[in-house]
Structure formats: structure tokens, C-alpha cells
Amino acid sequence: MDGQHDEDGPFGRPLFNDPKSKALKRVGAIDVGSNSVRMVVFDGAARSPAYFFNEKVMAGLGAGLSETGHLNPEGRDRALAALRRFALLAQGMGVSPMTCVATAAVRDAADGPDFRAEVARETGLNLWVAEGVEEARLSAQGVFLGWPEAQGLMCDIGGSSMELAELGEGVVGRRVSSQIGPLKLMSMKGGIKARKALIDETIDDLRAQIDGDYETLFLVGGSWRAIARLDMERRGYPLKVLHEYRMTAKSILQTVKWISNFSVDELRAMTGNSEARMRLVPIASQVLKSLIQRFKPQSVAVSSYGIREGLLYEQMPFELKRRDPLIEACRYDEAMNARIPGFGKFLFRFIEPLFEKASPERIRLVKAACLLHDVSWRAHPDYRAEVCFDNATRANLGGLDHPGRIFLGTALLHRYKNSRSGTHFQELFDLLSEKELRDAEVLGKAMRFGAMFSVQRPELMGQLKWHPKKRLLKLKLHPDTKALFGEVAQARFASLASALEAETLVT
């Protein structure tokens, strides 16, 4: 059994220490889009890398492109200025050469080649122009970075184009590209009626090319994220984390209608988005409405990962791609920040008997919690529980939906605090059922108790045994470490038993 834990699964050999993965320790990418120019530097080769640097300039390269056939002159100047800055930053961070991708605006503009030559001459950066279907593939890979098991349809909207790609079994399927980005639609003639007709006609054509049934629609792109943020406002949704935020088709259609009641300035005031982004939202919402009506997904999920993350995924070793992004990120966090790195797997083995009948998804969260149980120890003791909750619910973690975030945060809160009362997280607790909250409390209190047995050899921790039908919790202590079961440990054991509504037996 020890070999199974050590060599396979989430507690296997740390791949971010592998030479191939170490080559990904710091990776940078620049995305030159129709609306924005962004530089991202990823730090750490864990399956969910951290954002070491992330800067965006809303240059508007594609503004007016459909009318002039050329890049917007002001946008071109702003984009070039941003790229000069990014090139210097990349050198300073030691991430040269950068992977630089240009999409629809540079791809379609008559002066796109000239702009690329100017960028190379002025900055030393080489812009690779992605064709529409290649852009779709990279964005879909970005979704896989966060959801390795993603099944459904990916839709990436930029300023001047929109791409679709099928997702399933870790493979990108059919891909199509269109020219109905909101920046391009904004400048078309004929008003709202003509724009709606073009949107519907284009999406009808896309539906004919990609004709499968897709339970989940994964949304990639700043305009989609802005709409999702407005959906949160309309619903009064308390967890303002866009990644893996879920919506229904009905909710989206209600939000699209709701958006039409407000001015751009009013929408900006609700979310803090830039004026350049928010002025595209009313048009993008009409595209999303048409998309929902024709593809009829049961669920819509927002992905904060897109083409830049897809470029990173492209460079990952196959073995790393197969790993669970949540567990890998937690293992990396433990290695960097825990007082006793490596104790998380011992703690998991110790409390695992309490979760023998749990689902694989729940076991996955138990493992993640054990890895993270001690990474916030530097926080002030009076606020450590709250810091744990905040870190788990708001961290940049892939492979973790919103209920999972809150479950994990609640468990870690109980790692340091017996009661949830007195915290200001009630509106987030309300997103879980009473049973889920009880299960998170049991997990937290089990970790709180297990942490009292911080020994270097797992067999010295003793053994827990849970008999749910008898409501009996047994603890078998190791003869050499019985002294660890002192007064504080006994109190924590009693608290765990109380959460389980159990009698206890210690031998």
C-alpha cells in the first residue's frame, strides 16, 4: 500500500522537480489580440502554475478594421509601446525569448506583416500569427490546463473573431473560426437589426459545421468574463471568482436582457471593468444569446484560462499534462510554505479511514486539504482560520469548482478553529448544503487532531478507525508515541468525535 501511495496518483513523485518540468520554472507569453495586448509570466512548473506577472493594455488594434482593412493607427502605436515595455521586462525577468502570438487583427489586416516587421525591428520580439483554427486549438488547450477531463464545446471570443472547438478525452476535436468579434461588429453598418441578422446567420453556419450535442459550454475571453461578472451582480452571487463560475442557459438569457437596461457607465460601476471592455459587452451579450439558443448547452462554465495558458500547456511534458491541476498546485504550495513539507501525505493516510465511503471527488478534496493544512502558519494566530478560508476560496487554482473551493476553505478554517460562528463568511457557507458543511467540519477537525502527531514516520501516528453504523470512533496509539496524546490532543479528539456524533475508544 505504501508503494501505491508513493509512486502513483496525486502523492506520487513530484513532477515539478523533474528536469523536464524544471525547464518550465518560469515561462512567458505575449498575446497580441484585436482588443488587448497582454503579457503573462507563469512561475513554477506545477500543474496549476502561479501568475508571476500579468499585465494588459487595451490597445484596440482591431478597431475599425472591417471598414479600413488596416490596423487602428492609435491602437498600433499603443500596442507597439506596450510590446517595447514587455520586451524589456522579459529580459529583466530572465524569460527571453518570449512566445508571442498575434490573432485576428494582425491576421486579417493588410498592414499586419508590416506591423510584425516593425515589432521585430523595435523590440526583438517575433510575432507568430495564429490562424483561426489554430487559435481555437490553443484556447481549448488552455481549458484543458484547468479542466483535464473537460467534455463539451469551447467558445473563445476576441475583439475581431470567435472560435469554437470540441473538447473530450483530453483531445481537441473539430474547430471553426468566425469573424463576429464584438469590436468588428460594433463598426458594421445597418444598426442593431443588421447586426443581429449577421450574428444569427454566422452562428447558424457554425452550428452546421459543429453539429454535436454539448452538455457544457466553456467560455474563454474577456467579454465573456465581463458578462459572467454581471451575472454574479444580477444574482447577488457572493464568490467573485470567475474561473469555473457556472451559469445556466436560463440565467444567461435573463442577464442578457438585464444588461440592456443599463448604460456602459452603469455597468462599469458594478464591476470595475475598463470602459474599452465594457462597451463591447452589450454586443457580446447578443452573440452569447444566439450561441445559447442554437447550441442549447445544459451548463455554461467560465474559464479564465485561454490562449496564453494553452501555449504553456503546449510546452508541458505529457506526464505533467496527465496530473491533477489541483493536487499538483497544493503539493507545490506545501513544498514551498509548510513547516514540515511532506507531512500532508502522512496526515491523509491517518485520517483516510474516516472517508472510506466518500466519492472520488470528495477524496480528492480531502487530499488537497491535507496538503494545504499548514501552509498558512505564518498568519497571525487570531486570523489564521480566516486566512485559510480566504486563500482556498480565492486562490488561483485550476480543477476546483466553486462548491469545492468553499468546501476546501471551510475544512481549512476548521483546521484552526472549532466553530464557524463569528466569521464573516456566512453568505459563502450558504452555497453549501448542511451535509457538506458538516463533512467539511469533520475533515477540518480530523486534520486539527492529526496535526498533533507530526512525526517523521507515519506508522508512529497511530491508527484511526471509524464505524459509522455504531457511531464509534477508535484510536489505536503506537506504544512509542503515546505521550503525544496529551491534554490538547485529547480535547481535539473529543471535538472530532462530537462532529461525527460518535462515542470514542482509545487503546
256's enclosing H/E stretch is helix 249-259
DSSP per-residue letters across 70-133: S--HHHHHHHHHHHHHHHHHHHHHT-PSPEEEE-HHHHH-TTHHHHHHHHHHHH---EEEPPHH
* 19-129 CATH fold: Nucleotidyltransferase; domain 5 (3.30.420)
CATH topology of 19-129 equal to that of 132-309?
yes
In order along its 507 residues, the chain shows pLDDT tens digits of 333 344 444 454 554 556 666 656 788 899 999 999 999 998 865 677 788 999 999 999 999 998 899 999 999 999 999 999 999 999 999 887 788 999 999 999 999 999 999 999 999 999 999 999 999 999 999 999 999 889 999 999 998 999 999 999 889 999 999 999 998 898 888 888 999 999 999 999 999 999 999 999 999 999 999 999 999 999 999 999 999 999 999 999 999 999 999 999 999 999 988 888 899 999 999 999 999 999 999 999 999 999 999 988 888 888 888 889 999 889 989 999 999 999 999 999 999 999 999 999 999 999 999 999 999 999 999 999 999 999 999 988 888 999 999 999 999 999 999 999 888 899 999 999 999 999 999 999 999 999 999 877 778 899 999 999 999 999 999 999 999 999 999 999 999 999 999 999 999
User: What architecture (CATH level 2) is domain 132-309?
Assistant: 2-Layer Sandwich (3.30)
Instruction: Note the CATH number of domain 324-456.
Output: 1.10.3210.10
The residues spanned by each domain of the chain are: 19-129, 132-309, 324-456
Task: Extract the runs of DSSP E, i.e. beta strands, from 158-236.
Answer: 162-168, 171-178, 216-220
Where does residue 134 rank: exposed (0-12), middle (13-18), buried (19+ CB within 10 A)? Answer: middle
